[in-house]
Amino acid sequence: MLSRCLRAGAALLLAGCLSARQADQVAGAEKERNAQQQKKDPNQKEKASADLADLMGGPRLDQAAVERGRKIFIPTCGFCHGNDAHGKSGPDLVRSALVLHDNKGDTIGPVIRNGRSDRGMPAFSSLSTEQIADISTFLHSRAADVSNRFTYKIGDLITGDPRKGAKFFNGAGHCDSCHSPSGDLAHIATKYEPVELQRRMLYPAPNLIDLYLGKQVKPPAPSKVTVHQASGEEVSGTLDHIDEFTVALHDASGWYRSFSRENAKVDIHDPRAAHEALLPKYTDDAMHNVLAYLETLK
């Protein structure tokens, strides 16, 4: 358990030191790792939640009480507040200040028993103190799941139109100039969950966070470079280094070559450059449409 706490603590510390995009990558990678572990161990989510509670100094939730509360909440309250307590015709209880400050029903108990007739909420006076305490525990578990970015599961991500996504893929996005649905992208939707697929679509470069989490990382395709010298000679190869003054490469024969940039033109082909160039051009609709299209490639 200590090792899991230390790993979670390191991930949280790392996330706090990185950019928002990198922090999201930490969370996404950690969630994927947790998902794989949960397949091997069904109790992994409960253990992860308990470890995080220990790490952050919060209370451990009684999972039996959570389950009892869920079974009471869904048929009694779910028709208004949603089965996940995120709200329906009634308000979102996961973000409710009344719920967040509740302790075993001390603040939500009177509301449940007496109802709120002015807001259309009936009274549930038959619920016992123990049942209300279980409902409270269930609601606290929902709030904990939302606040824990390492276990929170993003739902309903596939909202786009795959036909429009295919049109963008083969048209304005020029994605088909590098990728093929029957080639490198064949069965891509079976390899990655939608959240990870979207991350790879937007930020295809592997990162140190993946290595830190022990994931198998495929090395990125190397950048290619062509140096056009003033003499008219052109030399192409795999880029090794470039700065303001020099460019270095390995040519097709494996020889290391270095050139001054003072009188040379340098053309670089980075496989990731097209993805980066699309970022400021994506509309929300285009991004979701392309993801929906990629999800059809199973």
Q: Evaluate whether residue 93 is within a structural domain.
A: yes
Q: Evaluate whether residue 46 is within a structural domain.
A: yes
87 with 207, same domain: the answer is no
Contacts of 115 (CB under 8 A, 6+ apart): 121, 122, 123, 124
Which residue pairs from 41-45 have beta carbons closer than 8 angstroms and sit at least 24 positions apart in sequence? 45/151
Which residue segment(s) compose the domain that 194 sits in? 162-214+274-294
| Tens digits of pLDDT across the chain (298 residues) | 445 554 555 554 444 444 444 445 555 555 555 555 555 554 555 555 555 555 544 567 888 999 999 999 999 998 898 998 988 888 889 888 888 888 998 999 999 998 898 888 999 999 999 999 999 999 998 888 777 655 556 667 788 999 999 999 999 999 998 899 999 999 999 988 888 888 888 887 666 666 666 666 666 678 899 999 989 999 999 999 999 899 999 999 999 999 999 889 999 888 788 888 888 889 999 999 999 999 999 9
Q: Tell me whether residue 255 is exposed, middle or buried, using C-beta atoms within 10 angstroms of its C-beta: 0 to 12, 13 to 18, 19 or more.
A: exposed
37 with 96, same domain: the answer is no
169 with 284, same domain: the answer is yes
**217 vs 286: CA distance, rounded Å:** 28
87 with 142, same domain: the answer is yes
52 with 172, same domain: the answer is no
166 with 290, same domain: the answer is yes
Q: Evaluate whether residue 219 is within a structural domain.
A: no
173 with 278, same domain: the answer is yes
Q: Evaluate whether residue 104 is within a structural domain.
A: yes
Last residue of a domain, one of 93, 112, 147: 147
Total domain count, the chain: 4
